[in-house]
């Protein structure tokens, strides 16, 4: 059933009180005006500045009452014709007992016709007595067709304001822009489209990163999400050949949005592994490979001291994530946010957080690909690890000799050195047991040593730093060995 049909059904049923929460007030009024084609009712709009005005006539009459709320409710109650009354930003006045009583009398049909009262606002909070009588209607965001039409209207407006100079774009680009604007209201989408068009008079693929950044800044009202501007390419990450192949096989199904019948859209992966072996870099590379923005959820910032606030923060963050789709959601070190889920030390907050997260993971329909990383498998709840939560669990192990050689080449090239000038095979052999992060740090330390000695970086300095450094696989041998033994028969190797 369409949104318009939903509203028509509510009006035909003489629903006493409808609540519409939306930042797009003109859009909500326009949608109710469309219901007049299907059900005939007198329709009015009220604001504190203009009073009560008739909307269903060809003309818009002058205010029929003073803006005063008491006079307005009395006029509604004494009306001789059934009507739909759109009261904009009316809810703050319900704090007054007299106003609340007047509205309750109308809703209970006390000496009045069965009117339909619609409270419209950005956020409408009602007294408990009225909340029980309200039907809340959440407007659906515009679809890709409406957004593409909006982008073209913005392009036409640009041409009109610039002497007929047309915007440089094409239908395929407009469709991609419209697809990435999904989840926004029409006013918000128009504001971003104007920003992109009026910036340089063109729309192209290079506008997509800016669009996603603006969209994120608009939707991240909770502050619990972090937009990762620098996503990596798989070519920038050493090893992880199985993971790269796995993601590449699912890239087209995720990008297209509607996979073939019988093929479920990819949900996400859990990256388990030794610290410093590149799990965070792989999360960024997954977003780069899928061609969508990467958003990190700060699990620690969700927790609050008041009852129910933590769960509300999670619900708000996940709702924002779904509006940002298509995207990759990255939860780093997920075990730290859910470690207490098996205990009641926090009053059951972690249990409720885990329950809501698991429900969202199972039931979400939006194109949000989840990448979670973890270091301590024994702290992860069993419910999170069972099949169906993630598509696959990959283990990111300590790099082998060939991967260590690749890591040296990547980090040396990133710092302006020619990898061919170094004995990469010897360096890979000398760095056995080192993680990628530890190899990078050895290069940094060797650079400091070269700078202090006023010489250039060479193999001798690199091997010296490797020899005097103790990797995590030595410092925490027991824990690392236990993790690798556990993962050997329970997970899929990333490399």
**What digits encode the pLDDT tens for the residues 97-111?**
999 999 999 999 888
Q: Calculate mean pLDDT across residues 413-426.
A: 92
The pLDDT value given to residue 365: 81
Q: Calculate mean pLDDT across residues 308-333.
A: 83
The pLDDT value given to residue 177: 86
- Residue bearing tokens 């036409």: 156
Mean pLDDT of the chain: 85
The pLDDT value given to residue 486: 86
- Record the tokens describing residue 361, joined without a space: 């993971």
* Residues 6+ away with beta carbon under 8 Å from 423: 459
Tell me the pLDDT band of 341, cut-offs 50, 70 and 90: very low
Tell me the pLDDT band of 23, cut-offs 50, 70 and 90: confident
Half-sphere exposure for 151 (CA within 13 Å, toward CB) = 32
**What digits encode the pLDDT tens for the residues 88-145?**
999 999 989 999 999 999 999 888 899 999 999 988 889 888 888 899 988 887 888 8
Q: In this structure, what are the phi and psi dihedrals at residue 306, rounded to the nearest 5 degrees?
A: -90, 145
**What digits encode the pLDDT tens for the residues 198-234?**
988 888 888 888 888 888 887 776 667 887 766 667 7
The pLDDT value given to residue 167: 85
The DSSP line for 102-168 is HHHHHHTTTTS---EEEEEESS----HHHHTTEEEE-PPPP-HHHHHHHHHHHHHHHHHHTTTPPPB
Res 288 pLDDT > 80: yes
Res 342 pLDDT > 60: no
Q: In terms of pLDDT, which residue wins out, 320 or 395?
A: 395
- Identify the weakest region by mean pLDDT among 177-181, 298-302, 396-400, 442-446: 298-302
The pLDDT value given to residue 12: 93
Alpha carbon separation from 70 to 63, 82, 101, 273, 369 (Å, rounded): 15, 19, 10, 65, 51
- Record the tokens describing residue 37, joined without a space: 């084609």
Beta bridge partners of 218: none
Other C-beta atoms within 10 Å of 329: how many? 24
Tell me the pLDDT band of 63, cut-offs 50, 70 and 90: low
Res 413 pLDDT > 50: yes
Q: In terms of pLDDT, which residue wins out, 67 or 267?
A: 267
Res 372 pLDDT > 80: yes
């Amino acid at each position: 059933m369409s949104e318009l049909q939903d509203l028509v059904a509510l009006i035909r049923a003489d629903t006493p009180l409808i609540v519409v929460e939306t930042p797009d007030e003109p859009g909500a009024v326009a949608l109710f005006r469309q219901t007049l084609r299907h059900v005939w009712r007198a329709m009015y709009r009220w604001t504190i500045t203009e009073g009560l005005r008739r909307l269903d006539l060809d003309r818009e009459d002058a205010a029929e009452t003073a803006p005063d709320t008491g006079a307005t409710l009395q006029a509604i109650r004494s009306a001789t014709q059934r009507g739909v009354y759109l009261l904009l930003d009316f809810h703050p006045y319900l704090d007054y007992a007299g106003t609340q009583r007047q509205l309750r009398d109308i809703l209970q049909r006390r000496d009045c016709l069965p009117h339909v009262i619609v409270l419209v606002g950005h956020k409408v909070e009602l007294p408990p007595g009225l909340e029980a009588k309200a039907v809340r209607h959440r407007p659906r965001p515009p679809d890709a067709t409406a957004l593409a039409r909006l982008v073209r209207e913005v392009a036409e407006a640009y041409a009109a304001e610039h002497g007929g100079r047309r915007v440089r774009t094409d239908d395929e680009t407009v469709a991609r822009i419209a697809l990435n604007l999904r989840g926004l209201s029409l006013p918000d989408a128009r504001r971003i489209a104007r920003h992109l068009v009026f910036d340089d008079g063109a729309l192209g693929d290079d506008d997509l990163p800016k669009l996603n950044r603006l969209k994120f800044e608009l939707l991240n009202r909770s502050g619990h999400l972090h937009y990762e501007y620098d996503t990596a390419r798989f070519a920038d990450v050493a090893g992880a050949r199985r993971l790269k192949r796995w993601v590449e096989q699912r890239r087209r199904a995720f990008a297209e949005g509607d996979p073939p019948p019988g093929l479920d859209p990819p949900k996400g992966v859990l990256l388990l592994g030794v610290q410093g072996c590149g799990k965070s870099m792989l999360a960024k590379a997954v977003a780069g490979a899928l061609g969508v923005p990467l958003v990190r959820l700060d699990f620690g910032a969700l927790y609050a001291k008041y009852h129910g606030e933590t769960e509300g923060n999670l619900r708000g963050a996940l709702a924002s994530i779904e509006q940002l789709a298509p995207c990759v959601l990255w939860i780093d070190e997920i075990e730290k946010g859910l470690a207490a889920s098996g205990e009641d030390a926090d009053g059951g907050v972690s249990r409720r957080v885990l329950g809501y997260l698991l429900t969202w993971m199972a039931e979400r329909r939006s194109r949000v690909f989840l990448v979670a990383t973890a270091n301590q498998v024994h702290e992860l709840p069993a419910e999170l690890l069972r099949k169906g939560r993630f598509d696959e669990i990959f283990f990111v192990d300590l790099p082998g000799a060939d991967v260590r050689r690749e890591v040296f080449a990547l980090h040396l090239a990133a710092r302006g050195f020619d990898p061919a000038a170094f004995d990469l095979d010897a360096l890979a052999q000398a760095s056995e047991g080192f993680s990628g992060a530890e190899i990078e740090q050895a290069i940094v330390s060797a650079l400091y040593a070269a700078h202090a000695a006023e010489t250039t970086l060479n193999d001798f300095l690199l091997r010296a730093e490797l020899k005097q450094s103790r990797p995590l696989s030595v410092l925490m041998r027991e824990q690392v060995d236990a993790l690798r033994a556990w993962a050997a028969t329970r997970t899929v190797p990333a490399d």
